[in-house]
Amino acid sequence: MADEKKMTLDKFEEAYEDVKRVTLETKLIYSDYWSNCTGNKVYLKPENLQRTGAYKVRGAYYKITTLSDEERKKGLITASAGNHAQGVAYAAKCYGVKATIVMPTSTPLIKVNRTKALGAEVVLHGNVYDEAYEKALELSQEYGYTMVHPFDDLDVATGQGTIAMEIIKELPTVDYILVPIGGGGLATGVSTLAKLLNPKIKVIGVEPAGANCMQESIKAGHVVALPSVNTIADGTAVKKPGEKIFPYLSENIDDIITVPDEDLVVSFLDMVENHKMVVENSGLLSVAALKQLDCKDKKIACVLSGGNMDIITMSSVVQQGLIMRDRIFTVSVLLPDKPGELSRVAGVIAGVNGNVIKLEHNQFVSINRNAAVELRITLEAFGSEHKEQIIEALNTEGYKPRIVRTNI
């Protein structure tokens, strides 16, 4: 294994002390909701509550502490989808040095603005992280900046691994730690330190199904690049994992689970409703993977890696989550175009406690308006069972409701 002296217990302990200067204490939160859903004792590690909204400040700050004064004075550069950007910007500000951040053009506005607010220069380039990274390398060579890689750096990974130190100190009997994977720095640090402290702890990496570069690399036995990525989890939309960290992660990770975007959507809704916390899609990978774990009565810590999510994305995810949970749905019914029919349909829905959100009345669905006018009704329900009760009530009254795609 390359650089074997790098990721040692001494280095992790050093990093643990260093990052305390810039991190908030993120105590574990016991989740009644996910514990009841899974039959395990589930704890949340809320790194979304860090000053920069994500765990990334740990690795960025520790990396900068290991640099020489000369390396820092050259100025720092990195590429990031947002969270590492803020981590580097914040750490650079602490040291009073310049930071340049290259971010994909698709990066949520909140991450761009917060990075700028921390004093960094932001360059928008490319559609995904990998394209932004190529630009960062180009600028690094052109201006002599010192690169602070977001994940493929053993010092950065060591800083991220301090999360495992905190989890184990607070919950020494933890059985599983679930951790999101993008490029792999967080999972490398957490899994390596966890195995050093207690080899019995199982560390499970979680990737978006549409960006599973680490899973494919583990299968191949070497780092491979995906031809493309497609996921709403922008913070983990990485085509190729880190080369330097790969030997550590492949040795220490116990398994990798992939999660479809649909599961992230409903997990966001569950997190907001049950814990009143905003966690970005990438940060939700760990809780979204819980239903795929085949275990009971275990103590599980889920790392919520970040919470930097713009309002527009948040609104869209909430709406889609409500639709996927059958909390909002749309039916189409045909009825004669005559007075009183709309009132009659509304009465049927009210009789089973359905709540009408929107009505669309289309008189031109048929040439014979007396025979058929289409009414599309968007409704709020308590869930799938209640939705079926509403549909059954409409069927009983002869309306023959048809489920159609909901557009809010």
Q: Is 121 exposed, middle or buried (0-12, 13-18, 19+ CB in 10 A)?
A: middle
286 part of the active site:
no
Measured in degrees and rounded to the nearest 5, phi and psi for residue 260 equal -75, 155
Catalytic residue selected from 31, 282, 286, 305: 305
305 part of the active site:
yes
Q: What is the DSSP letter of 292?
A: G
Q: Sheet of 255-259: strands edge to edge?
A: 29-31, 41-46, 299-304, 176-180, 202-208, 255-259
Residues written for the chain: 408
The CA-based angle 90-283-325, given to 5 degrees, is 145
Query: From the centroid of its chain, how far is CA 290?
Result: 14
- What is the Cα–Cα distance from 203 to 205, expressed in whole angstroms? 7
Catalytic residue selected from 11, 41, 45, 56: 56
- What is the Cα–Cα distance from 221 to 234, expressed in whole angstroms? 26
Measured in degrees and rounded to the nearest 5, phi and psi for residue 387 equal -55, -45
Active site residues: 56, 305
